Amino acid sequence: MLPVFFHIGTILIPAYGATAALGVLLGLFLAQRTARIVRVSAGHMWNLCIVALFTALVTQRLLLVFMNWSDLRRHPQWMLALSMIHHPLLTGVGALAGLGSAAFYARRRRMPLGATADALAAPLALGLAFEQLGALLAGSGYGTEADVRWSVTYTDPLVARWSGTPLGIPLHPVQAYAALALLTLSILLLAWLPTRRRDGDVAGLFLLGTGVTVYITELWRDWAGRGALLGGVLDGPQLAAILFVLAGALVLWECKGSRVKDEVFHG
């Protein structure tokens, strides 16, 4: 694969960062369209996304600094390499921080939470799909050994240095599996958004679809560094995936209950 797109002098342009950034930009522009569909201020939606993204990135960087403080004190220049590190813990903590800041901003601006969440669903799935494409190029979150025609084999030493990816071994392109599933989910959510019956329906489906995608694709990921739980029955992302599915089911159930009450009331 291609962990680095190109060099500018001594500066590396990593494939993961560039591809993830492209996904963020596409997600931001898509969020402008979905905001108009649900009749939420596009300006407020843009600001909400920027606040959430900035909070997530800063939180991830601070966590990395905290976890590697003893080494960074001796080698301050390593700060530049922290952006090359990808780990499920960082993703989870950053996502929670971003979600919290987004909810705070939405309440401050009196944005309807259900409609806002619906508008964010398809852009988030699209951004995650591009993040997984970047991970495929960089070898991050690599798959298990595979004996299939579509397997990938990494040979660049940078892949092993940044992500610990084994070299010269055919692996499942599990990141591509996840990217394809998330891209499909994004398209379905975007198509469903104009026809949704209640606020929160699309957000609930996003949680369900993302949880199922993560749980299934983890079956083909190497578990190194992902946190084995219950004696190796689950890993950390799979536990998070189960919580996503439960949360999505709860959101859809609440929306269904609200719809039934409204129908009874109007009847």
The pLDDT tens digits of the residues spanning 27-64 come to 999 999 999 999 999 999 999 999 999 998 888 778 77
Q: How far is CA 198 from the centre of its chain?
A: 25
User: Rounded distance, CA 89 to CA 239, Å?
Assistant: 12
Of 160-169, 185-194, 212-221, least confident by mean pLDDT is: 160-169
What does the pLDDT read at residue 264? Answer: 39
Please check the confidence at residue 247 and state whether its pLDDT lies above 50: yes
Instruction: Return the structure tokens found at 88.
Output: 């499920």
pTM flag (> 0.75)? yes
Most confident of 9-23, 64-78, 126-140, 213-227: 126-140
User: Rounded distance, CA 103 to CA 105, Å?
Assistant: 5
What does the pLDDT read at residue 87? Answer: 62
Residue 192 burial (10 A CB sphere; 0-12, 13-18, 19+): middle
User: Rounded distance, CA 124 to CA 119, Å?
Assistant: 9
What does the pLDDT read at residue 150? Answer: 94
Query: Quick one: how many helices (H) and strands (E) in the chain?
Result: 9, 4
List residues bridging with 232 in a β-sheet: none
